[in-house]
Amino acid sequence: MRALSTESAKTDLPLEEGSGQTAAPRPFWIGGGLIAIGAIWMHGGLSLPQGARYAAVGPGLTPTLIGAVLVLLGVILIVQILRGERFEPQDSEDAAATSPMDKRAFFTALVAVFLPVGALPTLGLPLTAALAFTLVTRALGSTRLIANFVIGGVIGSVSWLLFTQLGLQLGRFFPPLGF
């Protein structure tokens, strides 16, 4: 496992005298950021009840646990950095680490993430889920837009029905038609 390897430069000093090369920077800020985000999650989770009368799991338990895991991961990352782990770009399945980011795909996925904020009350869960699913699949390179739209609509419809059966209100099924 490369992530657990400690065979790397341990400082930001030049690798060899006169070579002009330097070791990769040590991104302590990433570990610190994870710890900070985890602390925020834990603070928010601890302000909610950890248990409930009707169930053993209260609304604050999950955010508290997620926050604790984020803090733990931040500490592990900082320990790895202190041990000299180098963080270099790695080639993924079909993209070179040195190639530039595909901004169109990034912004398409970003729109899909924020789409439910404005569209959910107006369009309902099934149509919003279908649109968001289609945008994400398009950002990932799919060209089957109609099939993706139908799949997203089915996922959204089933989710709406299951949440309704649990007694949770997600708004109307399809507000443009009044139901």
What does the chain look like in DSSP terms, one character per residue? -GGG---S--SSSBSSTTT--BPPP--HHHHHHHHHHHHHHHHHHHTS-S--SSSS--TTHHHHHHHHHHHHHHHHHHHHHHTT--------SS--TTSPP-HHHHHHHHHHHHHHHHHHHHH-HHHHHHHHHHHHHHHTT---HHHHHHHHHHHHHHHHHHHHHTT-----S-GGGT-
Name residues of the chain where pLDDT drops below 70.
Answer: 1-24, 52-55, 89-97
Per-residue model confidence (pLDDT) at position 8: 43
* Single pTM value for the model: 0.58
60-112 pLDDT, tens digit per residue, is 888 999 999 999 999 999 999 899 887 776 666 566 667 788 899 999 999 99
Q: What is the pLDDT of residue 20?
A: 56
φ and ψ of 14, to 5 deg: -55, 145
Residues linked to residue 22 through DSSP beta bridges, in sequence order: 14
Question: What pLDDT is recorded for position 92?
Answer: 62
CA distance 20 to 9: 15
Q: What are phi and psi of 21, to 5 degrees?
A: -90, 145
> Biggest alpha carbon distance in the chain?
74
- Structure confidence at residue 168 (pLDDT): 79
What is the pLDDT, as a whole number, of residue 9? 40
Closest by CA position to 89, among listed 81, 100, 78:
100
Domains of the chain, residue spans: 2-82, 103-177
